[in-house]
Chains A and B, each alone.
Chain A
Amino acid sequence: MLLIPCPWCGPRPENEFRYGGQAHIVRPARPEAVDDDVWAAYLFLRDNPRGRHAERWRHVHGCGRFFNCVRDTVSDRIAASYKPNEAPPP
């Protein structure tokens, strides 16, 4: 079980969280204005890196907030977590 640092509640056990997929996928502001390929990419194309991965989690059995984590997909180490409106750490 991972230990996930919630930006509000601090480090908490993984079973309090729900995974939310890759982070920083921005919904087009005007979906009707983008062509089908751009929309399909928004819907379906995701990274699958070996190593550093920015991803969404929600502290569903805690403060209820969505936030982002940078997790190493090899070691499962979480380098940082930050609020949705914040930029990922360098």
Chain B
Amino acid sequence: MTQPFRTAADGRIDRGQALRFRFDGRSYEGFAGDTLASALLANGVHLVGRSFKYHRPRGIVSAGSEEPNALVTVDRGPGRVTPNLRATQVELYDGLTAFSQNRAPSLRFDLGALAGVAAPLLPAGFPYKSFMWPRSFWRRVYEPAIRRMAGLGRAPAQADADRYLHQYRHCDVMIVGGGAAGLAAALGASATGARVILCDEQPEFGGSLLAEPDVTIDGWAAPDWVREVVATLADKVTLMPRTTAFGWYPGNLIGLAERLTDHLAQPDPRTPRERLWQVRAGRVILATGAIERPLVFPGNDRPGVMLAGAARTYLNRYGVRVGSRVVIATTDDSAYRAAADMHRHGVTIAAVVDQRAAPDNPLVEAVRALGIPVHVGAAIGGTDGRRRVRAVRLANSRTVIPCDAILMSGGWTPSVHLASQSRGKLVFDVALGTWLPSDGAAGACAGTFDLAACLRDGTVAGGSAPGSFAVASLPEMTPSPPSAPLLSHPKAFVDFQNDVTIRDLAVAAQEGFVSIEHVKRYTTTGMATDQGKTSNLNAIAAIAELTGREIQDVGVTTFRPPYTPVTFGTFAGPYRGRLFAPVRLPPVALADAVVEDVGTWKRARCYPRPDETVEAAVARECLAVRNAAGMCDASTLGKIEVIGPDAAAFLNRIYTGDLAALEPGQCRYALLLGEDGFVRDDGIVARLAVDRFHVTTTTGGAAFVLHHMEDCLQTTFTTLQAWLTSVTEQWAVIAVQGPRSAAALAPFIADINLAAMPPMSVREGHIGDIPIRLFRAGFTGELGFEVNLPPDHAQQLWDTLRAIDVTPYGTDAMHILRAEKGYIVIGQETDGTVTPDDLGLGRMIATGKGDFVGKRSLSLPDLSRAGRPQLVGLLPRDPAVVLEEGAQVTETGRAPALGHVTSSYRSPALGRGFALALVADGRARIGATLRVPQGGRSQGNMRGKTIEVAVVDPVFHDRPGQRLRVRPGPRPALLPLLPAVPHSAPVARPAAAVEMVALAPMTLLAVRAGSHAATSIGLGISVLLPTVPNRSVIARERAALWLGPDEWLIQAPPGVMAPSATTPGATTPGATTLGATTLAAQARKAAEPYPASVVDVSHATRALEIVGPRAAWCLNAFCALDLDLSAFPVGRCTRTVLGKAGVVLWRVATEVFRLEVPRSWLPYVWACLEEARLEFTDDDPPEQLPG
């Protein structure tokens, strides 16, 4: 017979829908609506696991998330194995496959149970004391053995095959727990018009009401009342079943883990398995209820021993009798309800054993009247049975009562875990003998156990007048305080999950542990995933008894998040595979390159020809630059426009050189120091006009330098009038370097005479229609130019130059070429402790110009002491040797180290290995021989050898710098570029709920100005610049977005190009530039006489629109802002973070958001939003990348 312990009728299971499932390989049947635990119990299965330490047989104790024993592994197929799920929370579905844990070889026969025989050898603190010697045994013997024996479940070996998502949300009232008090609170809160979220860890709302068919509320049976209330709430409150509030973090941030698919036999692959919600709540109402306490008696951990309330839940909610002949052990009135209900369903109640001398409740008499023997002032002294309890022995008595289940109740502990996590105050309630949240709780969590009072208090907690509910209930009961455990029975278990007994607590007390926090750590009681849900108060009561104190004086431990375990997948969310780290692509395609990661960027290391090795390609590229012409995509360099009447004075405060001395059209290499005097960044400062500079930074330093400059302007040099605009993504940079570079470039540039450009100069001009900023500068020591141009045209210029034999070179060649010239790389020759003089760049410091950041520190004694590291060159005696970077440089080959190798390469030009190094007093050692021991990472037969090196000047190539000063030849005949590469914008992906559209390029201006200038600009360009934060103004086809108190983004349609000038089929960067140039000129003119910064940023970002009823939802999967229409209405705009990308977000209509995304971030942002919208589409899910 299947399901022999199922009742004949009743319960909330669907008896018409039988489900097959397997547990430890055996097939069983249950019903829809069952949990794995209720289905197992219906089949008479109590033994479901082995304990953590002693491998004792254990059974199901509870019916909820407090379950300490019934931890199982559920196998949903490859990559979908989840250990440590509580069987009491696993919803049954057809075909469910689960396994018990912690047993070898089988649940019924377990070798590890021998540890139980050895239990006297394993008291609290045993590992700390016993596994210490010999030391070498710890890692090799003790730890592996303990790990094999102990632990819970087994970590899955395969990559997780499921999808996970995040969701950010804001609400006024967050209600945790959907039982009577929580539902009443939701009614109360929704009546005030507040935004309310109600979550419950169970699949159904109702909590304990679901197991109370005999209670009526307003004339409805309790479960039916729940159904009606949920229906009422459905359109006013965000209802979240299967959702655990696992953590309460500062700022009322509540972490919710929503389980979406684990209960389904055939989940939709587009639906995430779980969703992490980060809810920012105005206030939080805890309606988390109370957890019944086990009784601490010998043999209280045998399968078949469970909580009385749980047995009642199995009976009334799931239609399962947990035994046929049961003994009830209690110190609390509530257990008598279980006795009465089970008796009614034909279960024999062999006895009620009540520890209290004179229990005083009508229920007791009612149970006696049923003929059930009630032993008062009695306790259980022991139990019999191995894999299932067989009998109860009463303490101090010869009475033995046969039974197949023991139902225990030690009273109820309000579930205050979240209140404790929030660092809210817990107050001790003397009558209940336990702690309660000082405020913000309702129902049993607040110590209220009367149903009518729970409902009334709930509506008040929700913010409304006390609701009136007509409750017909069982007799009122007040839970008992925790009773003193029977200390005379040391082997009684206090903490089932961590296998902690009274004896362990006694050892802790005996060894002098007084603080409950120390007892917790020493004995492990209340630790790990369980967080002491069933055990905590009993342990505190035992310690109180053992140390002669009151419970309130012992105190309570701080509960830790998560309330119940949360999967790694939930926390990782979508940030895996292609979204694990943002990938930014430079403008020139990398298809024929060997690629490396440089921060978030992908860059080309080199461009090997077919059948060419990387080494050969790098050598060829180096020689091409030295002997002819090469080109490199240097677009990742940071670029900042610095504009304003004090721009020069400001840059003089930021960089070491005298930049005010630059004439427009000149540029200069510049060093940026920290205030501590150490080199932080370098770059080129170009003066475009008296009040306008174009500054480059390193690739990795771009964000830091902008931040540092803003810091100086906003908080330190506040009187200087200058503004900053990042143009990193506005300009692509193609560095064309080598003796033939001018000849290669000149045919394409009509309006700049290259021959008239001196070294370190800058000109603005055009290639065809395309605006360029041309620098005569480089990083190779050769005649060279850096062409700044709109990124949409970078590939076009690249392909054109390649067709005339300009050799592409990558970062490998770039590094060799710069090192041959002794040029430093930030982060390689510098490490945050290196001064300009250390680098041999003392000449970069302008002493006459006044104060600058870092100047004062340069005169600190330590920054000019003898023995400082100095940059030198190293030449290995053996020219074939290439030193290991990072290797120590020594006098003798042994300590002490004089310094280290900072850069080391093979130079194709020199035909040998060479290196740069920072060496103590290095410049005085030039000519000397030093020794460099090679470490384990060095190549081939170099490993472990000590290499003799000559210390030389760090400039290996063209020390006089003659090659930089070459005068380019006369201007040749003009040539056109190859046709533009049509740009492939991502296409719109329509769907009913949410659509993504890539918009055509527009004119974009970054305006930074004071309030007078801003007003004038608004009038001048016919769109007022809003003064209220995060607002936008639209006038005709133009829009002005407030981005900061002195910063706006202006959007306008692209300009209209003369047809003859437009390349057929090309995109419209020329048009946006034309529009931007015209509009910018208008704006600048309008601002006069006030200073203002107006910069064309049309190419720096790409616009996306997210459209549809689910648009806000999809954005909130990656963006933490409150996008509710009430908080973020139409017209609101702001910079924010989407995933890991900084974007501008603008709500242009109720269901339309516009994003301005930095162009290199577009693929990443697009992929994020695709992931978010997948569940609302019929698309095939993309292949999940591993990892």
Q: Do A and B come from one complex?
A: yes
Q: Is A46 an interface residue (CB 8 A)?
A: no
Decide if A31 touches B855 in the complex (CB within 8 Å). yes
Contact of B1045 among A20, A60, A65 (CB under 8 A): A65
A1 near B1135 with CB under 8 A, answer no
Q: Are A75 and B711 in contact (CB under 8 A)?
A: no
Within 242-273 of B, Cβ neighbours of A (below 8 Å) are at 249-253
A51 within 8 A of B: no
Decide if the interface of chain B is mainly helix, strand, loop or mixed: mixed
Chain B residue, CB-CB nearest to A4: B251
Within 8 Å of chain A (Cβ to Cβ): is B856? yes
CA–CA, A20 and B278, complex, Å: 25
Supposing A1-B1120, A3-B280, A40-B860 touch, asked if A61 and B1137 sit within 8 A by C-beta, the answer is yes
A32 with B1134, Cβ < 8 A, contacts A3-B280, A39-B857 known: no
A27 located at the interface, meaning its Cβ lies under 8 Å from any Cβ of chain B in the complex:
yes
**Is B698 an interface position by the 8 A CB rule?**
no
Q: Which residue of B lies closest to A63 (CB)?
A: B1044
Among residues of B, the one whose C-beta sits closest to the C-beta of A18 is B707
A9 touches B1029 (CB 8 A): yes
* Mask: chain A, 1-30; 1 = CB below 8 Å from B; 0 = not: 111000011101101101010000001101
Is A65 within 8 A of B1135, CB to CB? no
| Given known contacts A9-B1134, A27-B716, A63-B1047, A76 and B251 CB-to-CB distance under 8 angstroms | yes
Q: Which residue of B lies closest to A31 (CB)?
A: B856
CA distance A36 to B856 in the complex (A): 9
Count chain B CB atoms within 10 A of each CB in A12, A34, A40, A84 and give the residue with the most: A12
Are A9 and B1030 in touch, CB under 8 angstroms?
A: yes
Contact indicator per residue, chain B 845-881, by CB within 8 Å of chain A (1) or not (0)? 0000001000111011100000000000000000000
Residues of B within 8 A of A60 (CB): 707, 1142
What is the CA–CA distance of A19 and B965 in the complex, to the nearest angstrom? 45
Contact of B1121 with A by CB under 8 A: yes
A43 with B857, Cβ < 8 A, contacts A32-B851, A75-B423 known: yes
The answer to whether A13 touches B1120, judged by C-beta atoms less than 8 angstroms apart, is yes
Partner of A58, one of B423, B711, B1120, B1121: B711
Is B714's beta carbon under 8 Å from chain A? yes
Q: Please provide the chain B residues from 1084 to 1120 with a CB less than 8 Å away from any CB of chain A in the complex.
A: 1120
| Residues of chain A with a CB closer than 8 A to B1030's CB | 9, 63
B249 cross-chain contacts in A, Cβ below 8 A:
1
Tell which of A32, A36, A66, A78 touches B715, judged by Cβ atoms closer than 8 Å: A66
Q: Is the CB of A65 within 8 A of B714?
A: yes
Which chain A residues lie closer than 8 Å to B278 at the CB level?
1
What distance in Å separates the Cβ of A78 from its nearest Cβ neighbour in chain B?
A: 8
- A43, A76, A84, A85 — which one has the most chain B CB atoms within 10 A of its CB? A43
Cβ-defined partner of A2 (8 Å) among B251, B423, B1043:
B251
Q: Is the CB of B250 within 8 A of A2?
A: yes
Q: Which bracket fits the contact residues of B? A: 35 or more
Contacting residues, chain B, for A64 (C-beta < 8 A): 710, 1043-1044, 1047, 1135
User: Which among B280, B1029, B1043, B1047 has the highest number of chain A CB atoms within 10 Å?
Assistant: B1029
List which B1123-1146 residues lie within 8 A (CB) of chain A. Answer: 1134-1137, 1142
Query: Residues 31-59 of chain A: 1 if any B CB is under 8 Å from the residue's CB, otherwise 0?
Result: 11010100110010000000000001010
The answer on a CB contact under 8 Å between A62 and B250 is no
B714 touches A84 (CB 8 A): yes
B204 contacts A by Cβ under 8 Å: no
Q: Select one of B675, B851, B1135 contacting A43, CB under 8 A.
A: B675
Judge if B94 is at the interface, Cβ distance under 8 Å.
no
Query: Could you mark each residue 1031-1062 of chain B with 1 if its beta carbon is under 8 Å from any beta carbon of chain A, else 0?
Result: 00000000000011101000000000000000
CB-based contact B710/A58 at 8 Å: yes
Q: Which A residues are CB-close (under 8 A) to B280? A: 3, 13
In this complex, what residue of A is CB-closest to B1143? A61
Q: Does any Cβ of A come within 8 Å of B75's Cβ?
A: no
A62/B711 in contact, CB under 8 A: no
Residues of chain A with a CB closer than 8 A to B1175's CB: none
Question: CB-CB < 8 A to A77: which residues of B?
Answer: 250
Distance A18 CA – B675 CA, assembled complex (angstroms): 19
Residues of chain B within 8 A of A16, CB atoms compared? 1120, 1135-1137
Q: Is the CB of A76 within 8 A of B710?
A: no
Which of A15, A28, A58 contacts B1137, CB < 8 Å?
A: A15
Instruction: List residues of chain B with CB within 8 A of the CB of A32.
Output: 851, 855-856, 859
Residue B676 is within 8 A (CB to CB) of chain A in the complex: yes
Q: Given the complex, which residues of B lie within 8 Å of A61, measured CB to CB? A: 1135-1137, 1142
The residue of chain A having its C-beta at the shortest distance from the C-beta of B1119 within the complex is A13
- Chain B 521-562, CB within 8 Å of chain A: the 1/0 string? 000000000000000000000000000000000000000000
- Do B855 and A75 have beta carbons less than 8 Å apart? no
State whether A63 touches B250 (Cβ < 8 A). no
Taking a contact as CB atoms under 8 Å apart, the answer to whether B861 and A36 are in contact is yes
Indicate the member of B714, B859, B1142 with the most A CB atoms within 10 Å. Answer: B714
Known: A1-B249, A3-B280, A84-B714. A8 touches B1044 (CB 8 A): yes
Contact A39 B860 (CB under 8 A): yes
- Enumerate chain B residues within 8 angstroms of A10, measured Cβ to Cβ: 1029
Q: Which residues of B contact A43 (CB under 8 A)?
A: 675-676, 857
By beta carbon, the residue of chain A nearest B853 is A27
A contact residues around B860 at 8 Å (CB): 36, 39-40
Q: What residues of A have a CB within 8 angstroms of the CB of B1137 in the complex? A: 13, 15-16, 61
Q: How far is the CB of B766 from chain A (nearest CB, A)?
A: 32
Q: Would you give the shortest CB distance from A64 to chain B, in whole angstroms?
A: 5
A31 touching B1047 in the complex, CB below 8 Å, given contacts A36-B861, A77-B250: no
B251-A8 in contact (CB<8A): no
Question: In this complex, which of B252, B855, B1136 has the most chain A Cβ atoms within 10 angstroms of its Cβ?
Answer: B1136
A12–B251 touching, CB < 8 Å = no
CA distance A56 to B710 in the complex (A): 13
Find chain A residues with CB under 8 A from B710 CB: 58, 64, 66
A36: which B residues are within 8 A, CB to CB?
860-861
Cβ–Cβ < 8 Å partners of A39 in chain B = 856-857, 860
A36 to B1148, CA, bound (A): 56
Report the bound CA distance from A64 to B1030 in whole Å: 12
Residues in A neighbouring B718, C-beta threshold 8 A: 85
- Provide the residues of chain A in CB contact with B857, threshold 8 Å: 39, 43
Q: How far is the CB of A8 from chain B (nearest CB, A)?
A: 5
Q: How far is the CB of B799 from chain A (nearest CB, A)?
A: 36
Contact A66 B856 (CB under 8 A): no
Q: How far is the CB of A70 from chain B (nearest CB, A)?
A: 15
Considering only CB atoms, which chain B residue lies closest to A77 in the complex?
Answer: B250
For chain B, residues 715 to 772, give those with C-beta under 8 angstroms from any C-beta of chain A.
Answer: 715-716, 718
* Minimal beta-carbon separation of A19 from chain B (angstroms): 11
Shortest distance from the beta carbon of A51 to any chain B beta carbon, whole Å: 14
State whether A62 and B714 are in contact (beta carbons under 8 Å apart), knowing that A1-B249, A1-B1120, A75-B250 are contacts in the complex: no
Known: A9-B1030, A58-B707. A63 touches B715 (CB 8 A): no
Contacts of A18 in B (CB 8 A): 707
CB-defined contacts of A78 to chain B, threshold 8 Å:
251
Whether B716 contacts A15 by the Cβ 8 Å rule is no
| Cross-chain contact A63 with B716 (CB below 8 angstroms) | no
The 4 closest A-B pairs by CB, nearest first: A31-B856, A13-B1120, A76-B250, A3-B251
Q: Given contacts A63-B1030, A84-B714, could you give 12 more A-B pairs where the C-beta distance is less than 8 Å? A: A1-B278, A3-B252, A8-B1044, A30-B851, A43-B675, A60-B1142, A62-B1134, A64-B1135, A66-B711, A66-B714, A76-B250, A77-B250
9 contacts between A and B (CB under 8 A): A8-B1029, A9-B1134, A12-B1136, A13-B1120, A39-B856, A43-B676, A63-B1030, A84-B715, A85-B718
